[in-house]
């Protein structure tokens, strides 16, 4: 990839595809002249390569640096054995005379350089290895089996490391010295790999002498390389891919409901500044804007607060030419220019994304408590990041915000200073969010509704946080209701399946849930969905209502909302597939104007022309 082109389309397509298949991208130009130049207040420059990295992470994409990495990644990312963490144990048989400069040490250097961690072996693992390996073994990681003449040392070391809870994966390095043959060791490694869910990768060094052994390993689905560095690089790619997938699959915790700020007075304040020819909001205006979003701004207390500050952080947003508004977080204060410690994310942020943004910085480790200073309340910081993201989402008129005095005092975060710069260029007024490449939660679609008996229902777009409610909803449906919706019996409602059910790419997929509250307990009682095709010309609907609430008008209401959304999106048509025995759904479709297209294998296709 040279340029992303239409970033919004790319992010939408990539996020949808990455949930099902790996995506590997090779994007050159990492060190272009404009890639990472500094701006005042140490903000990342628009067009920065780090912004591409942030976008790829958000989309669940793995990025490689070279052609070799492209092929290495393509060979392993479909593996079912992806590492759960960066902690790698290294098993080699270099011998003591080679240990100080051998392949194990080379692998360790590469691992640390690429952001991985040499696994710290537990005391139990150390004791096990003491009882099984020669007396002068390395007693640490890398584990040197000291050139055993058979495969026993390798097997014992590999198995002990795999059983260690502090080990996420194992790299086995073979060097043809006075030890067992390459094929014999390869077969032993295969035997160990068959007994574990943790990944094993291999580096067989020795050219032609080990070629057959490499083929044996590869045929048994063990990624194998000619150098330790290539093996480590692949392991890190596997870990990053798993981490990005976890982010797509992770269910965020619900943050406490907050009262949405009154946006109209704030927009009037910004419009007034523009009419006066100002591009920067005054200190009073900036403070009012932040406070409206529950961001604790105390500009008047700056001098007093600075005497009690434990940590200084930076939080901000600026506009990128490809990806629109981005958010950055990291080390603040006077040292920020030199430390250059920040991470980048794309709005909108939820609780999970906010924490990931913080965790990717060195500052996050610092604020856990340093030199006797109390740790920061990271939950409060998460809320500030989420609220800050909401502010960015709501105001395309804002080009840049820099908070270089996000301080922590006695554990609590405060904002002591902020600069807010307004956008001077015109933007597409037809779009509600012209500055975003990821569509935010469509609040405008939330609606209150009542059954004829007065029972209140909240109709709203689905969220990732709905996974527990969705699981309960689906698990309580009758087999017949499940069959008429999914055309087969559903027995395995697992986390990965629910992630797809609660998919939140509002650009191409909308699910409206019907939620009720009974005795203070929320529950989902119906879901209507609309999947828009890649050309955004047609959409496919689906509908499911809980058995206890059928024949009460809810299905009709959900379908009306789906049709209205399709018209709003400018779709040409909406279609759906219905079992020919599902008389209730066929009758509703006919009532709403759908026409039958075809019938095959017990399924009837219906279509509604919107234009």
- Paired residues of 292 in beta bridges: none
What would the pLDDT profile of 199-246 be if each residue is shown by its tens digit?
A: 999 999 888 888 999 999 988 888 899 899 989 988 988 888 888 877
Position 588 confidence tier, pLDDT thresholds 50, 70, 90: very high
Domain CATH code at residue 362: 3.30.470.20
CA–CA dist 540, 416 (Å, integer) = 50
Position 444 confidence tier, pLDDT thresholds 50, 70, 90: confident
Residue 71 lies in a domain: no
* 122 secondary structure, DSSP code: -
Residue 72 lies in a domain: no
Residue 108 lies in a domain: yes
Asked whether residue 495 falls in the same domain as residue 566, the answer is yes
Query: Over the Cα atoms of the chain, what is R_g?
Result: 28
Q: C-alpha distances in angstroms, 73 versus 66, 232, 350?
A: 11, 12, 29
Asked whether residue 402 falls in the same domain as residue 516, the answer is no
Residue 436 lies in a domain: no
Is the pLDDT reported for residue 255 higher than 60?
A: no
Asked whether residue 144 falls in the same domain as residue 282, the answer is no
Position 258 confidence tier, pLDDT thresholds 50, 70, 90: low
Q: At what angle do helices 182-193 and 211-219 cross, to 10 degrees?
A: 20
Domain CATH code at residue 591: 3.40.630.30
Asked whether residue 218 falls in the same domain as residue 294, the answer is no
Of the three residues 390, 422, 454, the one that is the final residue of a domain is: 422
Q: Are 154 and 93 in contact (CB under 8 A)?
A: yes
More confident residue, 592 or 64: 592
Q: Quick one: 27 exposed, middle or buried, by C-beta within 10 A (0-12, 13-18, 19+)? A: middle
The total of structural domains in the chain comes to 4
- Paired residues of 12 in beta bridges: none
Asked whether residue 49 falls in the same domain as residue 92, the answer is no
- pLDDT, mean of residues 503-521: 88
State which residues form the domain around 367. 263-422
**Looking at residue 395, what is its pLDDT?**
92
Asked whether residue 550 falls in the same domain as residue 502, the answer is yes
Output the six-digit token pair for 373.
């200073």
- The b-or-e profile of 194-208 (16+ CB within 10 A means b, else e) is eebebbbbbbbbeee
Of the three residues 391, 422, 453, the one that is the final residue of a domain is: 422
What would the pLDDT profile of 297-329 be if each residue is shown by its tens digit?
A: 987 766 666 667 889 999 999 998 889 999 999
CA–CA dist 498, 467 (Å, integer) = 6
Lowest mean pLDDT among 85-89, 210-214, 239-243, 480-484: 239-243
Asked whether residue 267 falls in the same domain as residue 237, the answer is no
- pLDDT, mean of residues 537-561: 94
Asked whether residue 12 falls in the same domain as residue 39, the answer is yes
Opening angle at CA 186, ends 226 and 211, nearest 5: 40
Residue 233 lies in a domain: yes
Is the pLDDT reported for residue 425 higher than 60?
A: yes
Output the six-digit token pair for 216.
């044996």
Tracing tokens 């597939």 back to the chain, one arrives at: 577
Output the six-digit token pair for 508.
């191409």
**Looking at residue 291, what is its pLDDT?**
93
End-to-end CA distance of the chain: 37
Residue 428 lies in a domain: no
Asked whether residue 385 falls in the same domain as residue 470, the answer is no
Asked whether residue 557 falls in the same domain as residue 593, the answer is yes
**Looking at residue 131, what is its pLDDT?**
86
Asked whether residue 359 falls in the same domain as residue 448, the answer is no
3-state secondary structure of 266: helix
**Looking at residue 169, what is its pLDDT?**
93
Asked whether residue 217 falls in the same domain as residue 161, the answer is yes
**Looking at residue 39, what is its pLDDT?**
43
What would the pLDDT profile of 372-391 be if each residue is shown by its tens digit?
A: 889 999 999 999 999 999 99
What is the share, in percent, of the chain residues with pLDDT greater than 90? 44
**Looking at residue 92, what is its pLDDT?**
87
Residue 558 lies in a domain: yes
- pLDDT, mean of residues 459-473: 92
Q: Are 140 and 89 in contact (CB under 8 A)?
A: no
């Amino acid at each position: 990839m040279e340029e992303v082109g239409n970033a919004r389309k790319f992010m939408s397509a990539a996020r949808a595809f990455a949930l099902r298949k790996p995506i590997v991208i090779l994007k050159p130009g990492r060190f272009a002249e404009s890639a990472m130049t500094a701006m005042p207040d140490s903000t990342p420059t628009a067009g920065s390569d780090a912004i591409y990295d942030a976008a790829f992470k958000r989309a669940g994409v793995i990025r490689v640096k070279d052609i070799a990495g492209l092929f290495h990644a393509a060979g392993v990312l479909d593996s079912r054995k992806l590492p759960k963490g960066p902690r790698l144990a290294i098993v080699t048989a270099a011998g003591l005379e080679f240990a100080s400069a051998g392949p194990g040490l080379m692998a360790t250097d590469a691992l640390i350089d690429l952001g991985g961690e040499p696994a710290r072996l537990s005391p139990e693992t150390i004791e096990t290895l003491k009882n099984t390996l020669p007396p002068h073994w390395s007693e640490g990681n890398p584990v040197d089996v000291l050139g055993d003449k058979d495969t026993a040392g390798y097997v014992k070391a590999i198995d002990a490391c795999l059983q260690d809870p502090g080990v996420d994966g194992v790299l086995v390095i073979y060097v043809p010295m006075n030890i067992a043959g390459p094929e014999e060791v390869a077969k032993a490694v295969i035997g160990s790999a068959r007994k574990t869910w943790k990944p094993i990768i291999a580096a067989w060094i020795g050219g032609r002498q080990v070629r057959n052994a490499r083929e044996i390993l590869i045929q048994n689905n063990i990624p194998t390389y000619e150098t330790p560095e290539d093996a480590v690089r692949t392991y890190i790619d596997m870990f990053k891919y798993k981490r990005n997938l976890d982010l797509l699959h992770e269910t965020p915790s619900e943050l406490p409901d907050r009262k949405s700020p009154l946006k109209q007075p704030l927009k009037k304040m910004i419009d007034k500044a523009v009419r006066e020819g100002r591009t920067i909001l005054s200190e009073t205006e900036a403070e009012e804007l932040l406070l409206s979003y529950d961001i604790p701004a105390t500009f008047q207390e700056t001098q007093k607060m600075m005497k009690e500050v434990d940590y200084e952080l930076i939080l901000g947003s600026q506009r990128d030419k490809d990806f629109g508004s981005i958010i950055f977080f990291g080390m603040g204060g006077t040292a920020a220019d030199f430390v250059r410690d920040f991470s980048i994310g794309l709005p909108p942020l939820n609780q999970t994304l906010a924490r990931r943004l913080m965790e990717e910085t060195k500052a996050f480790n610092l604020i856990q408590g340093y030199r006797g200073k109390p740790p920061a309340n990271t939950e409060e910081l998460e809320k500030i990041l989420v609220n800050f993201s909401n502010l960015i989402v709501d105001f395309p008129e804002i080009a840049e915000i820099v908070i270089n005095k996000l301080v922590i005092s006695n554990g609590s975060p405060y904002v002591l200073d902020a600069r807010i710069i307004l956008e001077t260029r015109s933007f597409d007024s037809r779009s509600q969010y012209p500055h975003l490449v990821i569509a935010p939660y469509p609040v405008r679609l939330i609606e209150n509704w009542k059954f004829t008996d007065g029972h209140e229902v909240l109709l709203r777009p689905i969220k990732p946080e709905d996974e527990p409610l969705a699981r309960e909803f689906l698990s309580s449906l009758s087999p017949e209701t499940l069959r008429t919706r999914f055309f087969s019996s559903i027995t395995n409602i697992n986390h990965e399946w629910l992630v797809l059910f609660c998919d939140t790419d509002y650009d191409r997929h909308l699910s409206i849930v019907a939620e009720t509250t009974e005795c203070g307990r929320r529950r989902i009682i119906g879901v209507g969905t609309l999947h828009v095709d890649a050309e955004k010309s047609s959409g496919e609907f689906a509908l499911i209502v809980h058995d206890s609430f059928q024949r009460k008008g809810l299905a009709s209401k959900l379908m009306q909302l789906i049709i209205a959304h399709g018209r709003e999106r400018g779709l040409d048509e909406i279609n759906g597939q219905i079992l020919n025995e599902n008389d209730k759904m066929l009758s509703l479709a006919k009532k709403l104007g759908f026409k039958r297209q075809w019938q095959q294998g017990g399924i009837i296709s219906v279509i509604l022309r919107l234009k």
